[in-house]
Amino acid sequence: MGKISSYSDVILPMQDPYMTQIVDGRKNYEYRKYRLRLSVKRIWLYRTAPHSSIMHVCETLSAQTRNSGNLPLDKNGLGNYWDGYDFAYRMVTVRELRQPITLKEMKEKHDSRITPRGLVYLPKSMNDSVDLKEQKLEK
């Protein structure tokens, strides 16, 4: 993949119905078995086939854990449970890209050699190509 812009943005693959639940605000946490770098501020959601494109970007907070001393998760979201996961990432905002970034574009314009199947750090060229302030705010 092309030069990484920073470690503040990651691409994570997402399937339906989870993608839809995050976008419409019913699911306000993304759960992972691993901790993202503390520097991660945004998650670019790669919607898997048949869409095969990045359609949304979410601002997130640092991981919440089940360690003693951490605040409990909000109970007002769909699927806000820990079963099988150690880290919860709160989706603070959700922005819909006005022009989705297709897998073809990721490969041709942003030097991505792989289809995101797990955590991928965002290439600098992709970060430079999208002004997040100009994208549609969903949440």
- pTM assigned to the model: 0.88
Contact 39, 62 (CB under 8 A): no
Cα separation, 8 vs 17, in Å, equals 26
Sort 52 into a burial class: Cβ within 10 Å, 0-12 / 13-18 / 19+. middle
Tens digit of each residue's pLDDT, the chain (139 residues): 456 667 999 999 998 888 999 999 888 889 899 999 999 999 999 999 899 999 999 999 988 887 777 777 776 666 666 778 889 999 999 999 999 999 999 999 988 777 888 898 998 889 889 999 999 998 7
CATH 2.30.130.30 fits domain 9-129: yes
Distance, CA of 124 to CA of 120 (rounded, Å): 12
pLDDT confidence of residue 14:
92
Nearest one of 120, 99, 109 to 46, comparing CA atoms: 120
- Domain ranges for the chain: 9-129
